[in-house]
Amino acid sequence: MTNKSQSINVGDRIRSVRRNARLSQQELAKLSNISINTLSLLERGMTSPTIATLQKLADTLNVELSSFFLFSKIEQHVFFSKANKREPIHITEGYFFDLNPGSILPSFKPVEIQVNPEMTSSKMVKHEGYEFLYCLENELLVMISDLSYLLEKGDSIFFNASLPHHWQNKTHETTKIIMVQLTPDKNQKTNPGDSKHLIDK
């Protein structure tokens, strides 16, 4: 696995987005309901964020999750991404790779996530939009509200992300998944009752 020095520095992006929003660390920490010590460590690259923490920060700053990984948006019509050119983004749960870097469509964000053995995505989270998960290798237990779904290799799930959700890799091997987040326009609201879990059993 590529070492940390070669990874995208998410902490720099968090700091940049925070400053653009004209918020101090203390203000952002309070609004996001995370400790100021955690935020300080994240911005200095001293610890890796969880997906749940990144989502809290994105919601508070009113930006897409992808804002923490994109430094510029170059308008193009074709985006070609070589597998050996992708830089890993280190998170608490493992690593993930941006499959569509530089896209001008932040509302559509596909990533590959490598979930470490016996790792969970922290507590339940919810946010606007929808999520699609596809299991590439091993298996992943996905919890949505009070229901659980076991994704094995080749399985997929699509759900309303405003429903509380998280996932776990309970095995002793690394799990690889594709996650696609579809985020509506900021002027639109996602209603949890608009869709049900869509499961092909």
**Closest Cα to residue 130, out of 93, 189, 182?**
182
Q: What pLDDT, on the 0 to 100 scale, is given for residue 161?
A: 92
The position carrying tokens 């920060």 is 57
**Closest Cα to residue 124, out of 168, 89, 183?**
168
Backbone φ/ψ region at 194: left (φ over 0), alpha (ψ -120 to 50), beta: alpha
CB within 8 A of 122, min separation 6: which ones?
Answer: 50, 51, 52, 53, 92, 166
We find that the CATH architecture of domain 107-194 is Sandwich (2.60)
Q: What pLDDT, on the 0 to 100 scale, is given for residue 189?
A: 46
Element (H, E) at 179: strand 175-182
Strands (E), 22-172: 89-91, 94-98, 108-115, 119-120, 130-137, 139-144, 147-152, 156-160, 165-169
Q: What pLDDT, on the 0 to 100 scale, is given for residue 120?
A: 86
Mean pLDDT by 10 residues, the chain (201 residues): 50 88 92 92 88 87 76 57 80 82 69 92 84 96 95 96 93 95 62 41 38
Q: What pLDDT, on the 0 to 100 scale, is given for residue 101?
A: 66
Reported pTM: 0.64
Say whether 107-194 and 4-68 share the same fold.
no
Q: What pLDDT, on the 0 to 100 scale, is given for residue 6?
A: 39
Q: What pLDDT, on the 0 to 100 scale, is given for residue 128?
A: 85
We find that the CATH architecture of domain 4-68 is Orthogonal Bundle (1.10)
CB within 8 A of 201, min separation 6: which ones?
Answer: none
- Alpha carbons within 13 angstroms on the beta-carbon side of residue 101 total 17
Q: What pLDDT, on the 0 to 100 scale, is given for residue 186?
A: 54
Q: Domains of the chain: which residue ranges?
A: 4-68, 107-194
